[in-house]
A and B are shown apart, each in its own frame.
Chain A
């Protein structure tokens, strides 16, 4: 994998459902994996930055895992709420230039009340 790929592209769930998305990134020369939440008409906001294989991070109902050897990360949302509706972006940095993030296209989540 040369680019950062996210799936699914979009997702519609009912309030209370739990859901998860995938981010695939280049595993060679890995440095860090970022997750951001981007609400319509706002700017992206950081959720997690992960660097170590096996990392698991949690913020409220949202959590993320990281597998650097196979090049993927999962973002989980437990008990989705309408306010979770947003686009979730991931971005990876490699050790060659760890300040240049390569961004995925995002997963657009809509939570229906």
Chain B
């Protein structure tokens, strides 16, 4: 049982580049989330989804996009990377308690 698989683990982007963070879960969870975690700050919700075809903005959605075409997958897209998007990103899924991916450390230079 793989749980929540998140890739890549590390990435360095140049300002203005784009990338997609991948997230897949094999637990048939309805709910999926993307968080970012900055030093000294708590987990901030970027986007979440309550089921395939449904997505909603969280606390800090600007500069990001998501899609949920299947129950399993919830990719996070950065279109024009900015230094303010340097952070650690976590994907999670849940039906009750949340299960987290291993995290992606993204640096935008």
Interface residues of A (CB under 8 A from B): 4, 34, 36, 42-46, 49, 89, 91, 99-101, 103-106
**Please, how many angstroms separate the alpha-carbon atoms of A36 and B100 in the complex?**
11
Q: A43-B103, A100-B45, A105-B40 are in contact. List 14 more A-B contacts (CB 8 A).
A: A34-B98, A42-B102, A43-B101, A43-B102, A44-B43, A45-B100, A46-B99, A89-B43, A99-B31, A99-B50, A101-B45, A101-B98, A103-B43, A104-B42
Task: Say if the beta carbon of B48 comes within 8 Å of chain A.
Answer: yes
Instruction: Name A38's closest neighbour in chain B (CB-CB).
Output: B100
Instruction: Please list 27 pairs of residues, one from A and one from B, whose beta carbons are closer than 8 Å in the complex, sorted by A's number.
Output: A4-B42, A34-B97, A42-B102, A43-B100, A43-B101, A44-B43, A44-B90, A44-B100, A45-B100, A46-B99, A49-B96, A49-B97, A89-B42, A89-B43, A91-B43, A99-B50, A99-B94, A100-B45, A100-B48, A100-B58, A101-B45, A101-B98, A103-B42, A103-B43, A105-B41, A105-B42, A106-B42
Number of residue pairs across A and B with beta carbons under 8 Å? 39
Q: Which chain B residues lie closer than 8 Å to A36 at the CB level?
A: 98
- Please report which residues of chain B, range 55-71, place their CB below 8 angstroms from some CB of chain A when the two chains form the complex: 58
Q: Which chain B residues lie closer than 8 Å to A43 at the CB level?
A: 90, 100-103
Instruction: Name B6's closest neighbour in chain A (CB-CB).
Output: A43
Interface SS majority for chain A:
strand
**Please, how many angstroms separate the alpha-carbon atoms of A34 and B97 in the complex?**
7
Q: Which chain B residues lie closer than 8 Å to A46 at the CB level?
A: 97-99
Instruction: Name A4's closest neighbour in chain B (CB-CB).
Output: B42
**Please, how many angstroms separate the alpha-carbon atoms of A101 and B102 in the complex?**
19
Instruction: Name B49's closest neighbour in chain A (CB-CB).
Output: A99
